[in-house]
Amino acid sequence: MTVFVLVALLGGAGSVWAQPAATAPAPSRAKATGLFLGGAGVAFGAHEAGHLLFDVQFEADPGIAKVDFHGIPFFAITHRSGLSPKREFTISSAGFWVQHAGSEWLLTRRPDLRRERAPFEKGVLAFNVLTSIGYAGAAMAKTGPLERDTRGIASTTRIDEGWVGAMLLAPAVLDAYRYFVPGQRWAVWASRAAKIGLVLLVVKA
């Protein structure tokens, strides 16, 4: 499940995330915006591909259902019922795992990303961070369609959904901090620990 309203936020975030460096000619505003939104689109596709990968692996008969978030239409990738809790947890979590892996790869390989002219990469990171924040807020409020990923994680691990939201919010905030304040080793390891912690929840499912 992906909240499309967050994609719209990325357009306004472009000027914040795209800080030009002193070298190399800057792309035009239109091109930079297109690259930024392209990065966000790729990140969105990667999130959904994470769900589909395990849907197919577990032979869960994936499909697409039309849902809405307080009147805002979007869609959810669904699968058949009757899967084991561990498989349900894995499918629900897979999109976040992909986001976390992508953000970690970017911030590790390019710790000074903020100072680079890299609108595509910044679009990927912006989507990952903002989507996690959006999911975390919905989880803490316990609102949204029944198909939301955080509800699936909570139901299979028997953890309150609000705490699941907090576990998603932590790496998002830490990755944003790493972007704006690079070189802080405590933030790097705290972010990685939070991401690993979400994966390790599988032992509770």
What single letter denotes the amino acid at residue 11? G
User: Exposure of 25 by Cβ count < 10 A (0-12 exposed, 13-18 middle, 19+ buried)?
Assistant: exposed
Residues belonging to the chain: 205
CA dihedral 2, 48, 55, 145 (to 10 degrees): 0
The residue segments making up the domain with residue 106 are 5-204
Residue 73 confidence (pLDDT): 64
Q: Which residues of the chain have pLDDT under 50?
A: 1-22
Q: How far apart are CA 67 and CA 4, in angstroms?
A: 11
> Are 76 and 147 a contacting pair, CB within 8 Å?
yes
- What pLDDT is recorded for position 13? 40
Q: Which of 41, 146, 167 is nearest to 93 (CA)?
A: 167
| Cα–Cα distance for residue pair 37/28, rounded to 1 Å | 14
The tally of domains found in the chain comes to 1
What is the pTM assigned to this prediction? 0.83
**How far apart (Å, rounded) are the C-alpha atoms in residues 205 and 164?**
13
Residue 64: what pLDDT? 77
* Largest Cα span, the chain: 56
Question: Two tokens at 45?
Answer: 């596709």
Q: How do residues 26-44 score in pLDDT, each as one tens digit? A: 678 899 999 999 999 999 9
Separation between Cα atoms, residue 197 and residue 94, nearest integer Å: 14
Q: What is the pLDDT of residue 127?
A: 98
